[in-house]
Structure 1
Amino acid sequence: MTQAFNPTRRLVCGTLASLPLVGLSGFASNAFAQNSTALKISHQFPGSTGNDGDFRDRICRIFAAEVEKRSGGALKFNVYPGSSLMKTNAQFSALRRGALDMSFFPVSYAGGEVPELNIALMPGLVTSYEQGFAWKNGEIGKALNDLLFDKGAVPITWVWEAGSIASKTKPVISPDDVKGMKIRGGSREVDLMLKAAGSAVVTLPSNELYAAMQTGAVDSVITSSTSLLSFRLEEVSKHLTTGRSKSFWFMAVPLLMSRAVFEKLPKDQQTLILQVGAEIEKYGLDAVKTDDRNVATVYQKAGAKTYDLDAATVEKWRAIARDSAWKDYAAKSPNCARFLQLAEKVTG
C-alpha cells in the first residue's frame, strides 16, 4: 500500500466496530454541509418498505440515512434495488472503474475477475456465523480487505449469509441426494463440489431463480434464506433444507464503495462512512439469523416439507468440497493457496 490512510486495515482490525450507532450525533459540522454529494448504491435484491422486506435493501437504506444525518446532509444516497441501475454481474467492474459509487454485492460473483474472491463462497470452509465474522480480525480478513482495496473497492460493511436448499423434486440433505439433479450452487466452488457429488449445475444470479424453478430449468437451488424469502421460491418448491442450525454454504456479502469515489471524499467523511458501516454489521447479523428461522415457517405454510442439517452431514459435504473445490482453488495461484491457508486458520 502506498496510501498513508488505509481504511480496510482500520475496518479489519475492528477499531470502529464497537462504537454505538448513536455515538456520533455531534459529528456533523459546517464543513460537511458546505458541499453536498449524492452517491448511488446498487444491488440485485428486492426493495423494502420501512421495516418490511429484504434486509439487504434495508441495511443499505439504514446506512444511507445514518450517514446523511451525521454528515448534516453533505452526503446523500439513492438506493437502486433489483438491479434497476445496472445488471448484477456488471456492478463490481463498475465499482473498480468509479462508474458506480456503492454496491451491496456477493463478492464471489467477481471471482472471474479476481479469482481469490471465490473464497467468499467456498463450501464447507465457513460453517457458522461466528467463524465467518472471526475472519475480520484474522489474517484472512486483512488479506481479503487489502485485496479488494487494491482492486478498487473499499469494504464498508460485512454481512455473512447461510445457505438453505429449496427443491422442487426431492429433498437435498446429504451428498447422495444430488446425483442426477440440476442444481444452482451459487458460486464456481460450490458448483465444483456439486459436480463431484454427481449433479448437473446451473449458473444463475439469485434474482433469476424463480423463473428457473418454475420452468424446470433447475430442480433445486442453494441460496441464502433471505433470497428464498424475497424471491418467493416457496411458491415453486416442495422441499426446504434450512441453514438455521448447520450449513455448508456461507456467503460473504459486503457493502462496497468504489475506491476512486472514496478517495475523493474528505478524510472526515471517509471516517464517518467506515464508522457507520462497522456499526450496522450487528443489524445485518440479527436480520439474517431472523430470516434463517422464518424461512422454515414460510415454506411450511406453503406446503413444503422442511429439514435441517446436522454436523455429521455437513462434514460429508465438507469432505467432498475439500477434495474438489478447495483443491481446485488452491491450484489456481500461490495467492489463492495462501488465502485458503489463512482461512483454514480461523476455526468455528
Structure 2
Amino acid sequence: MLRKILLAGLSASALAISAFSASAADVVLKLHHFLPPQATIPSKVLTPWAEKIKADSGGRIEVEIYPSMQLGGKPGELVDQAKDGVVDMIWTLVGYTPGRFPKSEAFELPFMVTTAEATSVAFYDYYQKHLQDEFKDFHVLSVHTHGPGLLHTIASKPIKSLDDMKGLKLRGTSKVVNQMLEAMGAAAVGMPVTTVPESLSKSVIDGTVVPWEVTPSIKIAELAPNHTQFSGKTGLYTAAFIFAMNKDSYEALPDDLKKVIDNNSGKELARKFGMVMDQGDVNGKAIADKAGNTTITLDAAETEKWKALGEKVTKNWIAEMDGKGLNGSGLYKDAVDLIQQNTK
C-alpha cells in the first residue's frame, strides 16, 4: 500500500514537472507601451500578436506585455528603452521624440491621411524606402498610423470655423501637429495622450486632437463633447507609430525563432494595425453619438481655408528638410503618392 502511494506521488510529481517544462518558454520578451490594456491597439493587436507568437513558436517565446508605462519612464523614453535593451519591445508614437526621426514627419503633415489601413500600408512602404537609416537602432517589427485625426473641445468652446481656433489651448501629438495648430490660431500644448483627461478636467487645455479610436480610453465623450471634422477624403492629420524590438534581443534568437518573429512582422502587420484603428474610429464615434455629443463637419468651403494654412505648414517642413539635405519635396511627394496608391 505504501509503495502504491509513493509511486502515485512520484507519478503526480513527474506530471507536474512535465507540465511545467512544457509551458516554460525558452525566451521571455518584455513589451512596453503607454496605453491602458483595454485601449484599441493593446487589446486588438498587441495581445493577439503576443498570443500568436507563443502559438507559432510552440510555446518557446513568451511575450510579457506591460501597459501604461508599468516598467517606468515616460512615453517619450520608450524608443531609448528599446534601443538600450531596458526592454525587448516597444510600441509608441514616433512624434513623442520631436526631431529625432525627421523623415517620418512627412505622414504627420496636414490633410494627408485617408483611412488608417491605407495610410498605414503606405507608411510601411515609405519606411522601407526612406526610413531604414532613421530606424537603424531598432529591429523594426512594423510601422503604422492612426485614422483621420480631428478636434475635440470642451462644452463651452465648439469649433465651427477657423475663427473659433483663436486662443484655444489644444493638446497636440508631435512637433509637426503642434506647428499646424499654431498656424491655425490655437496655442499648442505638447503632452502624451495619457495626460489628456486630467488636463481637460483641470482646464489646462480646452481640447485635443486625437482620432475617434482613442476617445473612449481617455473619456473624451465626457470631457470634450464637441467634435470637429472636415469635408473631403483626407483628415486633418495623423500620427506615426513604431512597433520595434531591441536589436540584440532579436539577434540572440535562434534562426527558427527569428523566423517566427519575421513571419508576424511587416506590411501585413501594418495593415492589421490600420484595420483595427479604422474599426476603432467607428466605435469611438458611436460612443460619442450615444452620449449625445455634438459632431460638426465643416463644409468644403470652410475646409479649404484650413487646407490653405496646412499647405504653409507643409511648405515650411519641406524647406526644413531641404535645409538638412533630406530632399523634403521628394519625401512629401512619395508620401502623398503612396497614400493615394493604397487608398481605394
Note whether the superposition's TM-score is higher than 0.5.
yes
Q: How does 1:286-297 map to 2 (within 5 A)?
A: 286-297=275-286
Q: For the structure 1 residues 88 and 220, does the alpha-carbon distance in structure 2 shift closer, same or farther, using more than 3 Å as the test?
A: same
User: Does the 8 A contact of 1:101 with 1:258 survive in 2?
Assistant: yes
User: Does the 8 A contact of 2:230 with 2:299 survive in 1?
Assistant: no
Choose the corresponding residue for 1:36, options 26, 32, 46.
26
Residue 83 of structure 1 and its aligned partner are, at CA, apart by 1.5
Residue 70 of structure 1 and its aligned partner are, at CA, apart by 0.7
Q: For the structure 1 residues 296 and 62, does the alpha-carbon distance in structure 2 shift closer, same or farther, using more than 3 Å as the test?
A: same
Matches of 1:260 and 1:171, distance apart in 2: 49
Structure 1 counterpart of 2:136: 150
Larger radius of gyration: 2
Structure 2 counterpart of 1:302: 291
Q: Are positions 1:257 and 2:245 aligned together?
A: yes
Amino acid at match of 2:218: F
User: Does the 8 A contact of 2:123 with 2:145 survive in 1?
Assistant: no
User: Does the 8 A contact of 1:163 with 1:223 survive in 2?
Assistant: yes
Residue 270 of structure 1 and its aligned partner are, at CA, apart by 2.4
Residue 252 of structure 1 and its aligned partner are, at CA, apart by 2.4
Q: After TM superposition, where is structure 1 displaced by more than 6 Å over at least 4 residues in a row? A: none
Residue 98 of structure 1 and its aligned partner are, at CA, apart by 2.2
Matches of 1:156 and 1:324, distance apart in 2: 27
Matches of 1:144 and 1:286, distance apart in 2: 23
Matches of 2:298 and 2:49, distance apart in 1: 34
Report sequence identity in percent.
23
Moved more, 316-325 or 97-106: 316-325
Matches of 1:234 and 1:347, distance apart in 2: 30
Choose the corresponding residue for 2:59, options 73, 80, 98.
73
Choose the corresponding residue for 2:216, options 219, 229, 232.
229
Structure 1 counterpart of 2:325: 334
User: Does the 8 A contact of 2:117 with 2:278 survive in 1?
Assistant: no
Q: For the structure 1 residues 274 and 145, does the alpha-carbon distance in structure 2 shift closer, same or farther, using more than 3 Å as the test?
A: farther
Structure 1 counterpart of 2:311: 322
Matches of 1:231 and 1:166, distance apart in 2: 12
Residue 190 of structure 1 and its aligned partner are, at CA, apart by 1.2
Number of positions where the alignment pairs a residue of Structure 1 with one of Structure 2: 312
With the length of structure 2 as denominator, give the TM-score of the two structures.
Answer: 0.80
C-alpha RMSD over aligned residues? 2.8
Q: How does 1:1-348 map to 2 (within 5 A)?
A: 36-48=26-38, 53-86=39-72, 87-129=74-116, 131-136=118-123, 138=125, 140-156=126-142, 158-168=144-154, 169-172=156-159, 174-241=161-228, 246-278=234-266, 279-309=268-298, 313-328=302-317, 330-332=319-321, 333-335=324-326, 337=328, 338-348=330-340
Question: SS state of the match for residue 147, structure 1?
Answer: coil
With the length of structure 1 as denominator, give the TM-score of the two structures.
Answer: 0.79
Moved more, 314-323 or 98-107: 314-323
Q: For the structure 1 residues 56 and 314, does the alpha-carbon distance in structure 2 shift closer, same or farther, using more than 3 Å as the test?
A: farther
Residue 251 of structure 1 and its aligned partner are, at CA, apart by 1.9
Q: For the structure 1 residues 344 and 209, does the alpha-carbon distance in structure 2 shift closer, same or farther, using more than 3 Å as the test?
A: same
Return 5+ residue gaps in structure 2 as ranges: 1-22
Question: SS state of the match for residue 111, structure 1?
Answer: coil
Moved more, 298-307 or 150-159: 150-159
Matches of 2:124 and 2:33, distance apart in 1: 26
Q: For the structure 1 residues 41 and 111, does the alpha-carbon distance in structure 2 shift closer, same or farther, using more than 3 Å as the test?
A: same
Residue 249 of structure 1 and its aligned partner are, at CA, apart by 1.4
Q: For the structure 1 residues 35 and 210, does the alpha-carbon distance in structure 2 shift closer, same or farther, using more than 3 Å as the test?
A: closer
Matches of 1:55 and 1:238, distance apart in 2: 23
User: Does the 8 A contact of 1:209 with 1:221 survive in 2?
Assistant: yes
